[in-house]
């Protein structure tokens, strides 16, 4: 019984990491979309990552005369990590650079979402890059934590 309780407790702790979409990790943020994206961008630059773009989808919608809840996409990466992944399976390049989607749901809750590296490995049939994938997984988790932690 104790094993069952410990296992269930562990699974409940991971519940916020389960996104609604397969292959997407989503964690809640106590900050606004803009503030979460600012925090992420700051952490990325502090760690020497390249921020390629920040897409403000809600502003694009507004410019087109439409409405969209706050939604921003940050594209970032590091060729020293991405290139070895592409050397293992070049088609993974379609999912690179890395992306973080920061968005507000219908209830006003802000989320930080990113592609699960394990999903990308399965999607593209990547083999022989376990060490690199582990680094990517760890880095994405740290960036998400830095952007959303109080």
CA 34 to CA 11: how far, in whole Å? 30
CATH of the domain at 141: 3.30.310.70
Query: For residue 2, is it within any domain?
Result: no
Alpha-helical regions (H) of the chain: 2-14, 33-46, 57-63, 79-88, 117-124, 130-148
Query: For residue 125, is it within any domain?
Result: yes
Domain tally for the chain?
Answer: 1
Each residue's pLDDT tens digit, 119-142: 999 999 999 999 999 999 999 999
Each residue's pLDDT tens digit, 6-17: 333 443 344 444
Range of the domain at 105: 19-148
């Amino acid at each position: 019984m104790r094993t069952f309780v410990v296992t269930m407790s562990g699974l409940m702790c991971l519940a916020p990491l389960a996104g609604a979409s397969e292959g997407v990790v989503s964690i809640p943020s106590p900050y606004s979309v803009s503030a979460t994206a600012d925090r992420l961008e700051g952490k990325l630059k502090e760690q020497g990552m390249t921020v390629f773009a920040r897409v403000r989808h809600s502003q694009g919608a507004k410019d087109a005369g439409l409405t969209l809840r706050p939604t921003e996409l940050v594209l970032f990466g590091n060729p020293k990590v991405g290139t070895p992944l592409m050397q293992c399976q070049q088609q993974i390049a379609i999912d690179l650079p890395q992306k973080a989607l920061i968005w507000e749901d219908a209830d006003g809750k802000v989320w930080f979402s990113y592609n699960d590296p394990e999903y990308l490995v399965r999607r593209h049939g990547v083999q022989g890059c376990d060490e690199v994938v582990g680094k990517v997984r760890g880095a994405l988790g740290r960036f998400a934590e830095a952007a959303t932690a109080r």
